Structures are given as structure tokens and as C-alpha cells.
Structure 1
């Protein structure tokens, strides 16, 4: 049976499964998700080995150009380039081996060389990479590190009680290190950037297998990049601390003014709204960075656990050294993030209290206004009733005059009519008719409004 690779392998598996068993159709992501466990595997390295590691921050457009740049390197050495949508790639070139990984915020390049060396860091693996191609890599360098896996005899390292032979490889700086991977190797570093712009890891091989060496270097480089990425939030936390204190004082001033009887609630509400907007702007602008820092810090802890460090007497382990500075920085970031969340909740609570107070005042004003309107309506009703009584008298007066005029006309025609008597007798009748009519009109209006 021929050996297939890449997409051909997946196609071959699908055809084989379909031939052997009549199964339902596969989920579109089944094979991709299944093979994800094999993604970003550590390189299989020969020993001894020198490694150079670069981690670069890239924009979205630079990430697109990155694959094209990798393709130019592969074309130069006649190697199959990565797929257009690949996020990791490894290949062997003439004088070096390379691995590339693209992450959410950064990309990493690992370069490995196997030719003989005299000094661990005198001839780094990066020297084997074409200079013109290296100079055109996109992005900004976050981490640059050299690592060298050597035998103890090559660097005259005889006993862990005497670390003096290692000092020269780290420019005389204090050394941090430990035994790792069950005692198969010892790792030493000073966590400093040297004159060449690179930090250094020296791995002394006691009984490393090739697969172990690849995993060990991968973990060391992961620790270096993840601790730096975690610390990206620390300058932001220090910058936000004065803003946090200012917001806290401003909130205290506002809430203290709320307790005063002669405060301007509308002005306080405007100040609270502005403060809430400022706090929420800080949270939305930096929440991702703080959340990412927490995730990176967890990854650092996980990689340190994977090293299975054993102390070398007289020096700090990598985990002790990193946590001594990284843990307080992460605690500061978590504290700032948590305090901003708390102050946001306090501003929200103060706003609700002030709005409730304003609503109660408005409700009282409305009640007073309604009472005033009711009193005014009652007075208008009384005046209307008074006017209606006067109107009834006026109507009766004019109607009686009209009856008198009619009586005068009848008297002029020869009828024996006492004009004054007719006019006087008509007054109560007219007044009664007007009163009954007014009462019926009120009843009709009441029925209509109901």
C-alpha cells in the first residue's frame, strides 16, 4: 500500500472507511478536529543541536504577507511551501531546520543547526539562515533567544556543585537553572538580553533522547514568550493605577455630596454619567489585555510544571526566578482589573440611588402639581356653578322681557291683557324651565364623559 500525505491521506482514509463500512456521512470538521492533537508537534532533533528562536508581533496585513515570505524561502531551497491557510509549518533546509507557528497575537520561528561547535553561543543557528530573507521578516521582535544542547564534557561541566565553567557563557551574570525531564538534562540561563540582542539557554545533556530535546527546547521557548506576553499588561496596569485612584476619589466626592440636603442632583447625575463612561472606556479598552495576561500566565505555569524541575544546590530554579517577579506583576494586573470592575459596579449603584432620589423628587413635584391642578379645577367648578346661577337669572330676565313684549303686542291688538301681570307670572315658570334644562344638560355631559 503506498504511503500518502496531507490531503491525500485524508481522502484515502475516507475512501477506505466508506469501502469497509457503510457509515453515515462524516461531520465536515471530523478529521480536522481529530488531527488537531498532532498540530504544532515538537521537532525531532539530532544531538548536539543549536537553536535560535524569534517571536514577532504582527498586524493582520503582516500575517498575510508572512506566508508569502515563507514561500519565498521554500522556493529558494526547493521545499514544498505551507498551505495558504496553514498556521504551522516545519521543514529541513540545506544547513538548518526551521519550524514556524502563527498564533493569535504573534508568530514564532525556530531555527536548528547540527554542525559541530566549539562554544555554545559563538555560532548560533540563525547564522545559517539567509541574511536577506531574515532581514525582510515582518513584525516586531518580542522575544529573541539562542539555545544550545551540549554534552557536559564539551563545556567542561563535571559537577553541579561547581558552576564556574558556565559563568563565561552568560557574561558573568548570576545563573538560574535546574535539572529537568527526570534528570535527563540540566538547564541554565540568566534571563538577560545579551549584547547580540538575544537571551540564552544552555542545556547540558545527561541522557536526553532526540524527541525529549525537541520538547524541552519547545517548553523553554514557550516559557520565554508567554512570560513576556503576560507582562504586556503590566505597564498598562501601572498606567491605569493613577486613573483608578482619581476615579475612586471622584466617586467618593459624588456619593458624599449625595448625602447633603442642598446638593444639585442633576449636576451630580451628569458627573456620575461622565465617570461611568470613563470607567467603562478603560475596561473595554484594556479588558482583553488583562484577560490575555491571565491566560499566558497560566501557560507559563503549565510549561514550568512540564519541565519537572529538580533543584541544583546554590541557585534558583527557573520556576522560582520567574514567579518571584512574574507573580507580583500578575497580581497587580488582576488587582487593577478587579478594582475597575468593582468601581464600575459602585458607579452603577450610585447612579441607581441618585436616579431613584431624582425620581422620588419628581414624583413629589408631580403630586404637588396634581393637587394644585385639582384645587384649581375645584375652584373653576365653583365659579362655573356661580356663573351658571347668574346665567339662569339673566336668561330668565331676558325671557320674561320677551314675554312682556309679546303681551304688549297683544294688548295693542285689542286683547285685554295685563302686561305687567303676564310678565311677572312668567318669571317663575321661565326660571323653572331653565333650571330643568340646565340639570338635563349636566346629566347628558356626565353620561358622555363616562
Structure 2
């Protein structure tokens, strides 16, 4: 077997739900912490509950003090779920268990999502959603009308969101999965919303960068004769700023998109049906959640578009500079051609003069030779002298010309 076969297969069982029978109260917290901080939190939890925690595991479900604790480690966050059964003395919306209070107080700044879910049976609940303190509640029948969910999505004095699930016929397994879906919606919704502040901050930066790019584009269009170096420097600085923005926000916006897809999937899994005149739970969430997700996606797309525009302007400037360089090179080549042509003409003139001079010296030498022969008493007729001197001169001049051409060729 492949060394990763068992671990990859066991991913199917990596995120189990807490299975329980209602009525019950579930507290769910999500902590935005790094791995080192998670280890400290788990050690704190183990000390408070007096149980052993497997800090290297992805999740764990343990029972202690009539409570069921479940923790999970995710890529960016850590979740803790606590389930307790309801009895006659349990408040309608109780505070977290006493053993968790020190842990929650110490890590309060890291809590990104806090949800309180109350589960009651259909024949035991108060019968009216107003009795649970909801203000302008939303509600839906879910899971094929086997349960009803209520909430007003208003944080209480402890900054906790409250949900009420009225169970008609869900067994313990379906009840556990339904609770997990609701917690996933709240947790991943809040994790996705972390991209919204960055998107708003990025919007102000992009407005400035768009103005700069517009100015540079105008200068490029209207100042074709100006030197491109200042534009290159400004555009390079702008591209560096856009790349910095992309590096800072790319991961957050990608995470927002991924978390939003999980929220959309979990809402679909609820299989909601309308409950009277109340707005549906999923519709209420999506109506306010989707615009934020789309805003983050729009900012990401706006940044990519701006970076692409800067790249195109950079390409135009490079093309313009390249054309100018080619024009300069063409002028230089033309100047070199003219110089070469002049040099060839001068060289031809020198070659002609050289042949003339050499011819002059040859005839002078032949004349001296003939005069010397006449002085010695050897009479040579002019016709004979011409017959001898002419071919010889032509041969010598031809050899000299051939030698000059060979030197030029090399």
C-alpha cells in the first residue's frame, strides 16, 4: 500500500459529528489562532477538564462532568463545541460551562464566532418563538419538515448568536448532523467575512492607483515625443504597489471564496421550507452575506484588472522605446552605409591611381632598359620593343590587379 493510503482514506472520518438525543444545549466557538496557540489552548482545556488531549490529532470527542466536548483543528481556525443536556434548572440561554470560563476569557480576542444552539422537542418547547427572546425572528422548516430552526441573528450581551431548533422527528444521528450544519454556516460565514475589511481598505488604495494609471496613460498618449524613462519609473513603482496589494490580499480573498462556497452548500443541505410569514433562515443569511462575498470578489477582480492594465501600458511603453531604438539603429546603419560607400569610392580611386603609378614606373623602367641596350650597341626597333613590352606590361598589371582583389576579398 502507498504510505499515505490509510491517512487519506481516514479523511472520510476526520470530522465526525456529536450524536445526541435532545433536548440539549450546544455551545460552539471558533478561535482564529496559529498552531502554537492552539496547543496552548488544548493544554488549557485538558487542565480545566482534567482529561488527556491528543494535540497532534485533527479532532477529538471526550466526555467530562456531564458534558461532551469536541474540538477540531482547521487550516486557519480552531473550533470547540460543548454539549450539555437540558434539565429543569437549565436557563433558557445559559452561559458557557464554568470549566470553560477561564479559557474563554483568556482567549476572548481570538474568538471569531460564538454560537449557542438550544434544541427542544416539538411537544415540549414553549410553543411561541417570542417566548425565547427573539427580536424579528427568522424561521424555516428543514430536513423535510422534520425540524424547525429559529433565530434573529442578534448578538446577546456576551456577543453570542442564538439559534433554536425544534425537533419533530430527527433521530440522534440526524440531529447531530443538523447541529453541525448550523455551526458550519455560522463559523464559515464569519471566516468568510474576514475578507470584507480588507476589501474596503483595498478599495481606497485602488482608487488612488487607478487615478495614477489614468494619468500615466494620458501622458503616454499625449506626449509621444517625450522621453519614456520617467513614465517607466512611475509605472514600475505603480506595478510594484499593485503586486504588493495582490500578495497581501490574495490569500484572504481566496479563503473568502472557499468559505462562502461551504456556507452556500450547507444552506442547501438544510432543505428549507417557508414557515408562515417569517423570512427563511437561509434567505436571510444569503441576502446579507452574498453582497459581502461578491464585494470581496469584485475587489479581487478590480485589482487583477488594474494590474493587467498596468502591464499593457508597460508593454506599450516598451514597444515605443523599442521602435525608437530601431529608428536610431536604422539611422546609424544608414550613416555606416554612407561611410562605407565613401570609403569604397576612395579605395577604388586609390586602386586606379596605384595602377597608373605602377604603369608609369614600369614604362619608365622599360624605357631605361631600352636606352641602356642602345648605348651598348644593341639596336632594337620600336615595333619589336612594343611587341615585347606590351604583353609584359599587361601581364604585370593583371597580376597586380588580381593581387589587390584577393587582398580585398580576404
- After TM superposition, the score normalised by the length of structure 1 is 0.76
Residue 255 of structure 1 corresponds to which residue in structure 2?
217
2:60 maps to 1:89: yes
2:324 maps to 1:361: yes
Higher relative contact order (CA 8 A, sep 6+): 2
Q: CA deviation at 1:380?
A: 2.6
Q: CA deviation at 1:224?
A: 0.9
Residue 423 of structure 1 corresponds to which residue in structure 2?
none
2:16 maps to 1:37: no
State the distance in 2 between where 1:73 and 1:139 align.
Answer: 20
Q: CA deviation at 1:138?
A: 9.5
State the distance in 1 between where 2:46 and 2:361 align.
Answer: 112
2:148 maps to 1:186: yes
Q: Report the CA distance shift for 1:429/1:106 in structure 2 as closer, same or farther (over 3 A).
A: same
Q: Residue by residue, what CA displacement relative to the aligned partner does 1:263-309 show, whole Å, maximum 9, x if unpaired?
A: 33233233333322222222222112111111111111111122222
Q: CA deviation at 1:242?
A: 2.3
2:321 maps to 1:372: no
- State which drifts further: 435-444 or 369-378: 435-444
2:118 maps to 1:148: yes
State the distance in 1 between where 2:366 and 2:35 align.
Answer: 102
Q: CA deviation at 1:103?
A: 0.5
State the distance in 2 between where 1:68 and 1:433 align.
Answer: 111
Q: How many residues align?
A: 401
Q: CA deviation at 1:33?
A: 2.8
Q: Residue by residue, what CA displacement relative to the aligned partner does 1:67-122 show, whole Å, maximum 9, x if unpaired?
A: 54455456x24x5x32x53111111112311001100000100011125144321x
Taking the TM superposition and a 5 Å limit, the aligned residue runs for 1:291-440 are 291-387=254-350, 439-440=401-402
State the distance in 2 between where 1:305 and 1:140 align.
Answer: 29
State the distance in 2 between where 1:349 and 1:277 align.
Answer: 15
Q: Residue by residue, what CA displacement relative to the aligned partner does 1:115-174 show, whole Å, maximum 9, x if unpaired?
A: 5144321x33x324254455566971111222221245655x325xxx43233xx4xx32
Q: CA deviation at 1:200?
A: 1.4
Q: Report the CA distance shift for 1:130/1:141 in structure 2 as closer, same or farther (over 3 A).
A: closer
Q: Gapped runs of 5+ residues in structure 2? A: 378-389
Residue 383 of structure 2 corresponds to which residue in structure 1?
none
Q: Report the CA distance shift for 1:133/1:244 in structure 2 as closer, same or farther (over 3 A).
A: closer
Q: Report the CA distance shift for 1:86/1:139 in structure 2 as closer, same or farther (over 3 A).
A: farther
Checking the alignment, whether the CA contact within 8 Å between 1:58 and 1:138 is kept in structure 2 is no
Residue 212 of structure 1 corresponds to which residue in structure 2?
174
Residue 196 of structure 1 corresponds to which residue in structure 2?
158
Checking the alignment, whether the CA contact within 8 Å between 2:112 and 2:190 is kept in structure 1 is yes
State the distance in 1 between where 2:367 and 2:99 align.
Answer: 130
Q: CA deviation at 1:377?
A: 1.9
Structure 2 residue matching 1:353: 3-state secondary structure? helix
State the distance in 2 between where 1:138 and 1:433 align.
Answer: 111
Q: Gapped runs of 5+ residues in structure 1? A: 1-25, 417-427
- After TM superposition, the score normalised by the length of structure 2 is 0.83
Residue 127 of structure 2 corresponds to which residue in structure 1?
158
Checking the alignment, whether the CA contact within 8 Å between 1:62 and 1:138 is kept in structure 2 is no
Checking the alignment, whether the CA contact within 8 Å between 1:393 and 1:431 is kept in structure 2 is no
